[in-house]
Amino acid sequence: MQRSFLVKFFTILLLGIFTNAQAQNDEHEGSPEEVSLKTKIKESIDHHLLDSYDFIFFSDTEKNKHYGFPLPVILWDDGFHLFSSSKFHHGETVAENNGNFYKLYHNKIYKTDAKGTITLDDHHHPTQVKPLDFSITKSVLMIIITGILMFLAFAGMAKSFKRGPIVTGVGRFLEPIILYIRDDIAIPNIGVKKYKKYMPYLLTVFFFVWFLNLFGLTPLGVNVTGNIAVTFALALITFIITQFSGNANYWKHIFWMPGVPVPMKIILAPIELLGVIIKPFALMIRLYANIMAGHIVLMSLIGLIFVFHNWIGSSLTFVLSFAISIIELLVALLQAYIFTMLSALYFGFAVEEHDEAH
């Protein structure tokens, strides 16, 4: 009797909660407050994904205040122009430097007049001149910080080996990863004889991508490897190293495959040449798309916490966001591993020796 009463009680309680949640959703659906909230969430996601000229930790939208610090803006416009990004006031004002006026429009800097006039062409592109931009943006700053951390970690590890055969400090964490990259990535794909000259790059690109991926999961709002310009640069370096490492056999198997009839050689040569370009392109897109998609999904789930007007929806969304965050930690490591593995594989293709007799 007591058990039956408890079952009925909790059943009625759950039905009441869900009914109340649905009623609240129906009440607020399409209301100006909800539309405004969804717009703010979308703007927050866009701000997180895009690069910026200042480093903002958090913002108070009600008071229109941003807490962070500005970064240096470096432009080439008939000479170098150096000034603080605080002059833009987060894109709300025109920056003046040495008699020139610059406007921040859609996260890009354009030369304009004192009023900040931006005119658009038929394709909705600004007609103003865009000076060469060498600014230290948020992504550039994180790349510099990551480079410094890697230098300090590996320098400390090298000094530790000078004192004895057993590494100390942070080297204890790095050593097994380095050995894994050497024994399970570099040697199997490149070969025992030629893997050593590629190890510095493979180690650098692995820890560089991994650390930046981890920084992207922090509340700092960093999305470096989700920037296609960064992944393009990394893929381009792999492409250049591969082509300059290519031996005669590598190029021969691209342009004039041995053991293949001449008509097929003529057909396959353009396809093989296209494959040379597709490989680094796949590297670029794979890293960019996975990191970008992960950030969008995670930020969207966090935004849903504020969309729901009941504790059930917000709580479930929070649990799901936490679970996705744990998965993203694995993805951060996995993407660094895949980029390093494929780079080593391409290097191995370039330096492989072929025995034509067999």
Q: What are phi and psi of 301, to 5 degrees?
A: -65, -40
User: Can you give the C-alpha Rg of the chain in angstroms?
Assistant: 27
pLDDT band for position 9 (50/70/90)? very low
pLDDT digits (tens, 9 = 90+) for 146-158: 999 999 999 888 8
pTM for the model: 0.81
Least confident of 194-208, 252-266, 275-289: 252-266
Q: Hey, what are 195's tokens? A: 């893997």
pLDDT at 31: 52
pLDDT band for position 27 (50/70/90)? very low
pLDDT digits (tens, 9 = 90+) for 131-187: 998 999 999 999 999 999 999 999 888 888 888 778 877 888 889 999 999 999 999
Place of tokens 């939208």: 61
DSSP annotation string for 130-189: --EE----HHHHHHHHHHHHHHHHHHHHHHHHHH-SS--TTHHHHHHHHHHIIIIIIHHH
Does the structure show a pLDDT above 80 at 43?
A: no
- 356 versus 146: the higher-pLDDT residue is 146
- The number of residues making up the chain comes to 358
Q: Hey, what are 178's tokens? A: 């380095």
Does the structure show a pLDDT above 80 at 17?
A: no
DSSP annotation string for 324-342: HHHHHHHHHHHHHHHHHHH
Q: Are strands 95-97 and 100-105 parallel, antiparallel or unpaired?
A: antiparallel
- 333 versus 7: the higher-pLDDT residue is 333
Question: How far apart (Å, rounded) are the C-alpha atoms in residues 225 and 143?
Answer: 10
pLDDT digits (tens, 9 = 90+) for 236-250: 999 999 999 888 787
pLDDT at 2: 42
Residue 15, burial from CB neighbour count under 10 angstroms (0-12, 13-18, 19+): exposed
Q: Where are the domains of the chain?
A: 52-136, 139-351
pLDDT band for position 20 (50/70/90)? very low
- Walk across the sheet containing 108-112 and list its strands: 95-97, 100-105, 108-112
**CB pairs under 8 A, 24+ apart, for 313-322?**
313/21
Under a CB-based contact definition with an 8 Å cutoff, are residues 98 and 81 in contact?
A: yes
pLDDT at 356: 52
Question: How far apart (Å, rounded) are the C-alpha atoms in residues 224 and 237?
Answer: 17
CA-to-CA separations, 18 to 21, 142, 179, 308, in angstroms, rounded = 5, 45, 54, 12
DSSP annotation string for 47-96: HHHS--SEEEEEEETTTTEEEEEE-EEEEESSSEEEEEGGGGTTTTS-EE
At residue 101, the 3 state secondary structure works out as strand
At residue 126, the 3 state secondary structure works out as strand
CA-to-CA separations, 213 to 96, 105, 268, 269, in angstroms, rounded = 36, 28, 38, 38
pLDDT digits (tens, 9 = 90+) for 74-130: 998 888 889 888 888 877 888 888 888 899 888 888 988 888 888 888 888 888 888
